[in-house]
Amino acid sequence: MAHKDRHEARDLEVHVRFDVKRNAWVFTPLKSENGSDPNLHVDEAAEVPVEGGRCLLLDWRILEPEKDGESLEEAEKAGIELQRGAKRMKDMEIAMEQIDEYVDELRSRQTKELEHLESTKVLLQEELSNTRVKLESEQMRADQLQVEMDRQKAQHKLEIQHAADRLGKSFRDNVAARKEVERRHGEVCDNRAKLSVAVEQLRRRQAAFDEERLRHDTERAEANDKISEAPEDLS
């Protein structure tokens, strides 16, 4: 007598594939033992989700309703066929090993990217330090030039005054003194123009230094953000 609420496990061929969108192994029946299209349903899970990079295999069975006339003894013998599922389990283990290899590859790739970011950070810091030293040296030279310009200006002013005193006795001497004063004044104007050019160059270098420092700070902040976003357990 057939029990309609009891099912018999069958060793059936199935197609196994990994669905990326659903993040699960999907099992699709291909044919029954006699080669005909089965009228099957799936008990438990036919989709096996993946967690932590490994295949989590649930307890699943592809079942077929018991046919009229089959005895309980024959149904128990059919359970022997479930041993063939060991091969399917072996295939599952191979699939899980492949997933582990893929996860290891991803972890190694992330580690290399993190090392590259660290190396880039060190290079940027060295470049910023070298740029700061160069700009400080330029500032020092500009300060020295300013001091020299002031000294020459005072010296020229004193020389002009002495020349005016020496040539103030006569008209000719005064004319000569005036020319000398004008000549020295022209030199002072030239020096003042040179000083203005030097000051303008200093301002441009300072602006370039500020812009370069801002760019390096931005790049360093971006590198730090990438480093902080990388997984902490990379090794």
Q: Domain extents for the chain?
A: 7-103, 112-229
Amino acid occupying residue 104:
D
Amino acid at 38: P
Angle at 82 between CA 76 and CA 88, to 5 degrees: 175
Q: Tell me the whole-structure pTM to 2 decimals.
A: 0.28
Give the pLDDT band (50/70/90) at residue 179: confident
Spatial neighbors of 159 by CB under 8 A, at least 6 apart, are 184
- The pLDDT value given to residue 14: 55
Residue 180: predicted pLDDT: 80
Alpha helices in 42-170 (DSSP H): 72-78, 85-166
Could you give the maximum distance between any two Cα atoms of the chain, in Å? 151
Average predicted confidence (pLDDT) for the chain: 69
Considering 12-21, 80-89, 188-197, the range whose residues carry the highest mean pLDDT is: 188-197
Is pLDDT above 50 for 46? no
104 pLDDT exceeds 60? yes
The whole-number average pLDDT for the span 107-118 is 86
Other beta carbons within 10 Å of 177: 20
Number of C-alpha atoms within 13 angstroms, CB side, residue 82? 12
Share of the chain above pLDDT 90, in %: 0
pLDDT at 166 over 70: no
For residue 84, give the nearest of 1, 5, 181, 14 by alpha carbon: 14
pLDDT score of 61: 41
| Alpha-carbon torsion (18, 19, 20, 22), positive or negative | negative
Q: Which residue has the higher pLDDT, 25 or 228?
A: 228
Which two tokens mark 212? Answer: 């370069």
> What is the pLDDT, as a whole number, of residue 10?
45
Residue 205 main-chain phi, psi, to 5 deg: -65, -40
What pLDDT, on a 0 to 100 scale, did the predictor assign at position 215? Answer: 87
Burial 53-70 (b: 16+ CB within 10 A, else e): eebebeebebbbebeeee
Query: Which pLDDT belongs to residue 178?
Result: 78
The pair of structure tokens assigned to 17 is: 């594939």
